Each structure stands twice: as structure tokens, then as C-alpha cells.
Structure 1
């Protein structure tokens, strides 16, 4: 049986700590009610299936958002395989460990309404279809990519895979409008299939494509989004060296997709007067 723990301490033999052998979810919770909970649970279940970790019981997970407390919180769930096994060999009967923590969260409205400046990253993501889409604990690529800049004016960095195809930002999914069609990178070789992305794709005609970054030259609008921050319009994309590459003006086009996303998260769909 999986018992949830709130303590940050875990045993030194925990496989999540030792090998990244586990999964996590970050859930926006508003007054005890989780947003996009079905999508988070679906991705967690898929991750558990692929890694061969028993999925915590729904009854164990479903009570946690209410324990986050009032106001706006981010609930982080971590499921590891637990301890045991020998080296990389997994235990025959794993006893998963479930950790959770709720922290206060304040979104960044300025990025919603003024848009963001982003850059390309030098790091390229390795391709491993078995792990593509799920939110496993082994995120060193994202950590190393995020270390590439410390300029507060740059909100995010775009990542390509080892074949030069667009994948995602370091912690957000990527969307763009090109020739009147909403597109997002295909994530069958690497990257995280975000829950906001999943929800938007269930509601709108968004096409998954395999393209290089040059496709953004033809984009009429570009966005980054995730289930915690909402949707940020991109107004400028730089090279990894900081040279401006493309610019986009804010218009009603950006607001249309943002309204769809923010309605799912309970965020404003227009700036306050």
C-alpha cells in the first residue's frame, strides 16, 4: 500500500533519489480544488505503466488537493519506486513511495498581457521514445538548459532534440499559429506532454508536427504554456547568443488561445481595468 508522506526527507536507498526512478506532477490547486486533475492523473498512470511502478490508489491521491489549503497553491506529487533492488535492478515487488507538498503560488500577469522574450538553448534533448511524454524524475537536461542564462528579461528557452526538431521550452510546452493552423511539436521521441497541452488539444484543432526552429519564421503568433503558469504570448525570440531573431506583435490572435487556456485554469481572460 502506498502511503503519502509530506516530509522532505527520504531514505538514502530510495530509487527516486538514487536514479531518478519515479515520476512527478505539479498541480494548480484553487481553494482545495485541483485544476486539470483528470489529465494529471492520466499522465501519472501512463508514467507508472511505462516504468512498471504500481500506481497509487485513486483514494490516496484524490484527498490530497483538499489538504493544500485555501487560496492558490501548487501541489507537487512525487511517486518513486521506493527502496530495494540491487543497483539498477529493480525490486521484484516494489513498494512505491508517495511524497507531496503544497506551496503558495502567485502567477505572473505581466507575462500574460505584455508577452515574453525567449531564447534558443544550445543543449539538445536526447531521444528516448520509452520516456517521451511522461514527467519522470530524471530532468537533468532541463536543469542544464536552464543554466544557460540568468537574464531576468528572458522568460524561457526553447529546446530542440538531437536531430534539430523543435520539442518544448525548459518547463513549458510550445504552440504557434502558422498559415492559419495551430501547431505544437510532436512529442513521441522526447519532451513532456503537458496537461494544459492535452486539455487544449481535446478542445481545439491543434496539429502535432515535426519541424525545425525555422518553422517559427512563418508563425503568425507563438505561445508557451503549462498548467501552472497559464499561457504566455511570445513577443521576441533570440538566438542562444542573444541576437534578436523574430518578433511578434500582440493582437487578438494571441488572446484567442489564451482565453481557452485560462478558462481551464480559472485565470483572467483579459487584463484588469
Structure 2
């Protein structure tokens, strides 16, 4: 399916003066689409609006919603990527007063991951790349993803379906393209993302569900020692849902009951 730029089908993605291309000045959302419906749409748009507010990008959120719904209906099934940039500017970091945000919509096929990832669990690669601590950008799904690009280039072995990333202080933060949860004594724990990391949409949805079901949870710093003491471990994102983690380095975990419960919830959230 053809990409849309600012609501219109386009062969070229954007102007060469676009600040997203020049500086990574923008945000993006990756949205699963089924039967013409964008899944977890409200959470995606809430994160986008928060990012626009923090980066002072004056985007029309109602227009974005309408275009996204129309594009998802046209594509039917697959993975939709929304890229929102600050728009064009001349040379230099300063923002042109009249810059108009640019909206780019792209369609891709439905993600095809091995069924074993969800059923039997995955093994995590220990990434050497560390996430820089920058509270001004923490949590945002901004276009600057070079840390993840470098981290993902560290392994080619298909044994590893995902990599584990820490920050420069050694705290456990997330996967390369997912968020991480551990379970200890029936309590769900996920990393505090106030210094770095991406506040994933599935992570947010699972925390809402945990609160609804009275599952105790903590959002806090996670150390390697806490990982070693965990009873269960899993990763999640808004495309594949939940994957149990069965191994990392010399550690291993069973696929536990709380992981299976939340996996089932995630599967429902990604169904229509």
C-alpha cells in the first residue's frame, strides 16, 4: 500500500529539508492493524500527544487520529507506522517559526515471529550498548533510535529473539524493541523510565490491567540482582504481545502463571 504524506498518497516520503531526516526531530508510533482497526489506538495517541507536548510540536491530534483510522481501514491488516516530524527548516538547529509538522503513514505486513517465542519463551542477548540517561527525552518514542540500532547489531545468532539493555549506571531498563517485566513473590515489577527508555504502549496496557485485577505491581529501578531473584520474566510490545523469557546469560526461568495470565490478556488486546 502506498504511503501517505500529510493525508495524501505520495511516492516521495518527505522534503529533503525535513527536520526528522536532518536531526531526528520527531516521534513515531508502530501500530498493529487487524480487520482495518488500529489496535490500542488510544494509548498510542496518548503517548504521541505527550511527546508532542514535551517536544513542543504543534500537531493537530484530531487530524492525526482521523488520518490514522482512514489509513488503517484502507490497509486492512498489517503493521502501520506513523512518523510525525516538526516539518521543514533551513540549516541549523533553530526552529523556523512557520514550520508545519509533517505526518507520514506507512504500511507493512503483519509481523511474523516464531510461534515458539510465545509458547516456550525466548533467550535474551546481553547487549553491551548502554542507554544514555536523559530525563528530557525519557519515555518518548522519538526518532533518535541509534542506541537501539547499535544494540541490535551486536548479535546475529537466531538463538536470541531480543536483547537486554541497561543504562549507563547499570540499571536494567528494557529490551531493544520491548519493555521488560519480572515477577517476584506474585508482585509484578517493571523499570522506572524517568531517566531513559521507551514507555511502551503494551507496558501501559498491562499496568492498567494489573491495577484492574488487583495484581500488585511496582515501577522502580531494577538491578541485576533483582533479575537473578525473579520467579518469572517476560518482555512485551504492542505488535507481538507478551513473550516469556526463559534464559539470559547463566540465568533461567520457568514460564510462570502470571506471565501466562498477562500473555492471555495481551492476546485479547491485540485481537478484534
TM-score for both structures, normalised by structure 1: 0.90
1:161 paired residue number: 167
1:29 matches 2:33: yes
**Alpha-carbon deviation of 1:175?**
0.4
C-alpha separation in 2, matches of 1:265 and 1:172: 16
Match of 2:237 in 1: 226
User: Match for residue 139 of structure 1?
Assistant: 145
Distance 1:56 1:258 in 2: 34
User: In the TM superposition, what is the alpha-carbon distance from 1:93 to its structure 2 partner?
Assistant: 2.9
Worse-matched range after superposition: 166-175 or 204-213? 204-213
User: How far does residue 5 in structure 1 lie from its aligned partner after superposition?
Assistant: 4.8
- 1:200 maps to 206
Describe the shift of the 1:92–1:165 C-alpha distance in structure 2 as closer, same or farther (beyond 3 A). Answer: same
Q: Deviations over 1:111-138 (max 9, x none)?
A: 1111101121111100111101110000
Aligned residue number for residue 224 of structure 2: 213
C-alpha separation in 2, matches of 1:250 and 1:45: 36
The aligned counterpart of 2:92 is: 87
1:12 counterpart SS class? coil
Q: What is the aligned partner in structure 1 of residue 179 from structure 2?
A: 173
Q: Is 2:261 aligned against 1:250?
A: no
Contact conserved, 1:3 with 1:60, CA < 8 A, in 2?
A: no
**Deviation by residue 1:147-194 (Cα, 9 ceiling, x = unmatched):** 100001101111111111111110000001012210000000100000
- Contact 2:111/2:239 (8 A) holds in 1: no
Which residue, out of 109, 113, 122, partners 1:116? 122
Question: Contact 2:13/2:104 (CA < 8 Å) preserved in 1?
Answer: no
Q: 2:195, 2:61 → 1: CA distance?
A: 29
- For 2:44, the equivalent position in structure 1 comes to 40
Aligned-pair CA distance for 1:60:
3.8
Structure 1 residues 126 and 166 mapped into 2: Cα distance closer, same or farther (>3 Å)? same
Alignment of 1:9-20 (within 5 A): 9-20=13-24
Could you tell me which runs of 5 or more consecutive residues in structure 2 were left unpaired when the two chains were aligned: 211-215
Structure 2 contact 182–234 (Cα < 8 Å) conserved:
yes
1:67 is displaced (CA, Å) by 2.6
Q: Counterparts of 1:29 and 1:66 in 2: how far apart (Å)?
A: 12
Instruction: Give structure 1 regions of 4+ aligned residues with deviation exceeding 4 angstroms.
Output: none
Rate the CA distance shift 1:206–1:264 in 2: closer, same or farther, 3 A. farther
Give distance in 1, aligned partners of 2:69 and 2:122: 30
Judge which range, 128-137 or 211-220, deviates more.
211-220
Q: Scaled by the length of structure 2, what TM-score is found?
A: 0.90
Q: 1:233 to 1:25 in 2, by over 3 A?
A: same
